[in-house]
Amino acid sequence: MADDDKSQIIVAPNMLRAKVGDKPGPDIDQLVASATAALDELKQDFEIWIRDDLKSLRDSVAAMHVATDPAALEHIKRYAHEIKGQGSTYGYPLLTDAGDLLYRFISTDTEIAAQNLNLIDVHVDFMALVLNQEIHDHGDALAQGVLTGLRNAAKKALGAAAAPASPTRSTG
Amino acid sequence: MTISLEAPSILVVDDNKHMHSVVKAILNSMRIKNIRFSDNAADAVMEMRQWHPDIIITDWAMQPLAGLDFVRLVRKGADTPNPYVPIILLTGHTEMCRVIEARDTGVNEILAKPISIKSLYTRIASIVQSLRPFVKSKNYFGPCRWRSANLNC
């Protein structure tokens, strides 16, 4: 990453700093509380959006069961990634964990993933269960056990050397 | 003490419209009202030409053009409206190699999804308070990749 000897440093005036000025902002805790309240107001929408994403994910898996289709697999990967990115924001950290595992499984080896649609089904079923049971935290030992089971099954399918890493712990 | 973020204009680029609502709710809570949205890179470049945002927040996983391709377009494109505009990249890709790739493409800040409200505020405040100088070299154009102000870029 070393910038070579002929690097040119460009220091532009920070117009943004001048635009913002020195006016103090709200307390950070107050700001977080306000944003959390704003997100809570979207909660009803979140439920609809996340269910839409899960339905799209399930439709793509169903398409893969009919015929192997790289585009459908790409859709599955994309929706898994979306659910990973949004699950915790929507109040479902377990969806983030499961989405992360599914995304990593497919990303590691698409061919093996395409041959293990039943394992993808189990990921999707688990996500649906989390939604239907409205599990808004990291779940109990059973839920964590399912995640461990999914991780181990992916590891077995992929071979130990290429196993996906542990899921990123979501922080909201 | 925090700083007031009422003044900056922010362009949010994400092909997931649900995320527009999420990011808007968070930014509004920071009293940022001057926000526009694009759902693809081409529209975002057009928006930059007409509106001149102070900061861009873009997702990585977008179609047809991915977030990093959009960053390349902004930093190095022949007809880029503003190659120096600060860019915050939102991403679910938190692996170190991906973070390095994003940094070397010229993003100012990287923010992992799910979005942490405090982290987003910190990234924006960091850009406002201590915008890093740009480096132009044979292989790189973007904000200085060394964070310390004492380091010679």
Test A171 with B135 for CB contact under 8 angstroms.
Answer: no
Looking at residue B151, its pLDDT comes to: 44
List the CATH number of the domain containing A140.
Answer: 1.20.120.160
Give the whole-angstrom CA distance, residue A165 versus residue B31.
38
Question: Tokens 């309240």 belong to which residue?
Answer: A37
Q: Which distant-in-sequence residues (6+ apart) come within 8 Å of B95 by Cβ?
A: none
Residues of chain B in contact with residue A86, where contact means CB-CB under 8 angstroms, are 16, 18-19, 22, 113-114
Chain A residues lying within 8 Å of B135, measured CB to CB: 3, 7-10
Q: What is the pLDDT of residue B43?
A: 96
Residues B85-92, mean pLDDT to the nearest whole number: 93
Model pTM?
0.82
* Residue B49: pLDDT over 50: yes
Residues from chain A that touch B75, judged by Cβ atoms under 8 A, are none
More confident residue, B122 or A91: B122
For residue A93, the chain B residue with the least C-alpha distance is: B114
Chain B nearest C-alpha distance from A100 (Å): 9
Instruction: Give chain B's mean pLDDT.
Output: 90
Q: Alpha helix (H) ranges present in chain B?
A: 17-29, 41-51, 67-76, 96-105, 117-129
Q: How many domains does chain A have?
A: 1
Inspect the interface and report whether the beta carbons of A27 and B2 lie closer than 8 Å: yes
User: pLDDT 10s digit of each residue in chain A, 172 long?
Assistant: 445 567 899 987 788 888 888 888 888 899 999 999 998 888 888 888 889 989 999 999 999 999 989 999 999 999 998 898 888 888 899 999 999 999 999 999 999 999 999 999 999 999 999 999 999 888 888 999 999 999 999 999 998 545 555 554 443 3
Distance of CA A143 to the CA centre of its chain: 17
Work out the pLDDT band at B76, boundaries 50, 70, 90.
very high
In angstroms, the separation between the Cα of residue B105 and the nearest Cα of chain A is 11
Q: Which residues pair with B112 in a beta bridge?
A: B91
User: Which of A6, A25, A34 lies nearest to residue B3, judging by beta carbons?
Assistant: A25
Residue A46 pLDDT: 86
| Residue A101 within any structural domain of the chain | yes
Are B22 and A88 within 8 A, CB to CB? no
Does the distance separating the beta carbons of B114 and A86 come in below 8 Å? yes
A46 by Cβ neighbours in 10 Å (0-12 / 13-18 / 19+) ranks as: buried
The answer to whether residue A169 is domain-embedded is no
- Would you state the pLDDT for residue A94? 95
Structural domain boundaries enclosing A115: 43-162
| ipTM of this complex prediction, to 2 decimal places | 0.82
Residue ranges of domains in chain B: 10-143
- Is A10 close to B135, i.e. CB distance below 8 A? yes
Nearest by CB to residue A82, choosing from B16, B86, B94, is: B16
Q: Tell me, what's the pLDDT at B87?
A: 97
Record: contact B118-A32, CB cut-off 8 A = yes
Q: Are A19 and B7 in contact (CB under 8 A)?
A: yes
Residue among A115, A83, A121, A77 nearest A99 (CA): A83
Distance from B92 to chain A by nearest Cα, in Å?
6
Into which CATH architecture does domain B10-143 fall?
3-Layer(aba) Sandwich (3.40)
